[in-house]
Amino acid sequence: MIQIYKEIRPYNFALLLTGLLLLIGAGVVSFLPKGDLLIFLNTYHNKVLDHFFYYLTNMGDGLIFLPLVLIAFLIDKRLGIYYLLVGLMHAALVSIGKYILFENSPRPIIYLKQYTLHLVEGLKVHKWNSFPSGHTATVFAACTAIILFLKSKLLQVLMIIIACLAGISRVYLCQHFFQDVFIGAVLGVVSPWFLWKVYYFPVVLMKDGIQ
């Protein structure tokens, strides 16, 4: 048991940092009116950021889980099942929010129609089902699931930065409000952490004969 905990302890640093960022995000959501952060970011648009966020936002595409699951299965069957469950769980939670609990919630282009927003050329801007952000949930779920098995703090921080920037891209590109992104990030962090605690770690203990 002691040896196993020594092997998995390094993720604590990244999760604590992620928790701190989410706490800060909760404060922003509580005190900043809906749409204010988007309008602020939108005023600082330029071609470099347009291209950067246009491509970075694809890190939140649900298809990103396909190579992760395949690679995980090649490494270890339990790991492959874990990544598959993470992909399914976060997708289910997002779908419940988007299409049942908050169906047809307006996106920025509708909610802020009185403003002239800068839209990135060539990008399809959606109008409905804003809450929560599926792209943000996906990238945070993927990065958190990877972080749980990384020992390098540098790589852990890199994963967090990628996830945060992908979340910011959804606001910059006028696809979501910060509130959508924040809840998407929460769902993305909770899904892999919950499944790691209730599925992957207990299975490892049982396999190694530790009760």
- List, for residues 136-157, the tens digit of each pLDDT value: 999 999 999 999 888 888 999 9
**pLDDT digits over 101-110, tens only?**
999 999 999 9
Region of poorest pLDDT, from 76-80, 131-135, 204-208: 204-208
Average of pLDDT values for 3-17?
A: 58
Task: Kindly tell me if the per-residue pLDDT of 166 is higher than 70.
Answer: yes
Return the residue matching tokens 């699931």: 145
pLDDT the model gives residue 1: 35
Task: Kindly tell me if the per-residue pLDDT of 206 is higher than 70.
Answer: no
Task: Kindly tell me if the per-residue pLDDT of 15 is higher than 90.
Answer: no
Q: How far apart are CA 160 and CA 61, in angstroms?
A: 17
**pLDDT digits over 43-56, tens only?**
999 999 999 999 99
Average of pLDDT values for 159-183?
A: 96
Task: Kindly tell me if the per-residue pLDDT of 203 is higher than 70.
Answer: no
What average pLDDT is seen over the chain? 89
Region of poorest pLDDT, from 43-57, 64-78, 112-126, 197-211: 197-211
Average of pLDDT values for 88-103?
A: 97
Average of pLDDT values for 4-21?
A: 65
Q: What is the pTM of this model?
A: 0.90
Tell me, rounded to whole angstroms, the distance of Cα 30 from its chain centroid: 20
Q: What are phi and psi of 180, to 5 degrees?
A: -65, -45
Task: Kindly tell me if the per-residue pLDDT of 6 is higher than 50.
Answer: no
**E strands of 129-193, at which residues?**
none
Longest dimension (CA), the chain: 63
Q: What percent of the chain has pLDDT above 90?
A: 73
Is residue 7 exposed (0-12), middle (13-18) or buried (19+ Cβ within 10 Å)? Answer: exposed
Q: Which domains does the chain have, with CATH numbers?
A: 2-207 (1.20.144)
Exposure of 200 in the CB half-sphere (CA atoms within 13 A): 24
Task: Kindly tell me if the per-residue pLDDT of 211 is higher than 80.
Answer: no
